[in-house]
Amino acid sequence: MKTITTNRLEVRSAAGDLKEFVDENGFKAIRWRDEYVTGDWGNATGAAAPAFSNFTIGGVAMRKITLDANDARTNVFEVPHDMLMSAEALLQPEIHVHFKPTTDGTGTVIFFLAPVWSRANTSGDDPVIDPEALPEMARTVTIAVGSAEYPSYVATFGHLPIRTYTLGDLIDFKIERRTGEGTYTADVILDKVALHVPVDDRGSREMYTK
C-alpha cells in the first residue's frame, strides 16, 4: 500500500505498518537491529549486589551474572545514531531479555522492568527536562526445562511508549524479580537485556541531531 504525505512517499503493509519511505533525504528502508546496554550492571537500592556464578554451558566454563527470586539489576541504553525517530507506536524501540534457568524443573518466571527516559542536554543553553519514569512493564515466562542444560529463553516486554526521543538520550532501566511472583524460584542467568531499534540509515548527518 502506497501513501503520499507531505514531502514523503510511504510504503506500508496491508495492516498499515510503515516499511519504506522516500523523502528529501532519499530512500529509507526501515530495518531492525539489536542495541545493547552501554554500562556495567549495578544493583538497585535495597537489592543484593550483582551476583556472578560459575557455570559450565555446552562444556565450556563461563562466569555469568544471575538474578534470584528477589533481586534487581540496573543498566542503561543510549539512543543510537541510526535509530528512526517516529511517532508511530509500532516503530518505537522494543525491549527484551535473554536468560537461562539454572536448574531442572518447571514453573513461571516473572520479570518486572522499570524504564526511565532522560533527555540529553547537549549544551548549557538547552532547557533542562527532568527524567521521566515510563510505565512499568512485566512479562511472565513459562519454564519447561526438563533435563536440558541451561536452555536459552528470550522474552519481550513490548515497545517503549511514544516519546520525542533524540540522539544522546538515555533509557535507564531496572529489571527485577519479586518474592512471591512466579513459581520458578531458583536463580536465572541474566544473559542480556537489549533493545530492538528501528533504523532508517547507517547513522546521523550530525553528531547530536539526525
Q: What is the pLDDT of residue 53?
A: 87
Rounded CA separation 82/18 (Å): 17
Q: Which of 23, 63, 43 is nearest to 176 (CA)?
A: 43
More confident residue, 194 or 42: 194
* 3-class secondary-structure state, position 93: coil
Cα dihedral 97, 168, 161, 18 sign: negative
Q: What is the pLDDT of residues 36-86, one digit of tens each?
A: 987 788 888 766 666 788 999 889 999 999 998 888 999 999 999 989 888
* Cα(84)–Cα(64) distance, integer angstroms: 33
Instruction: At 93, list the grid cell.
Output: 524501540
Task: Kindly state the average pLDDT of the residues 167-196.
Answer: 92
pLDDT of residue 92: 93
Question: How far from the centroid of its chain's Cα atoms is residue 35's Cα?
Answer: 8
Pick the residue with more confidence: 128 or 84?
A: 84
State the pLDDT at residue 91. Answer: 87
Listed residue (96, 99, 97) closest to 57, CA to CA: 99
The SS3 of residue 77 is strand
Does the structure show a pLDDT above 90 at 27?
A: no
Higher per-residue confidence, 85 vs 160: 160
User: Does residue 17 register a pLDDT over 90?
Assistant: no
Whether the pLDDT of residue 179 is over 70: the answer is yes
> How large a percentage of the chain has pLDDT more than 70?
74
Q: What is the domain partition of the chain in residue ranges?
A: 33-199
Can you give the pLDDT at residue 34? Answer: 93
Query: What global pTM score does this model have?
Result: 0.81
pLDDT of residue 86: 85
- What CATH class does 33-199 carry? mainly beta
pLDDT at residue 2, as a whole number: 46
Highest mean pLDDT: which range of 25-29, 65-69, 120-124, 144-148: 65-69
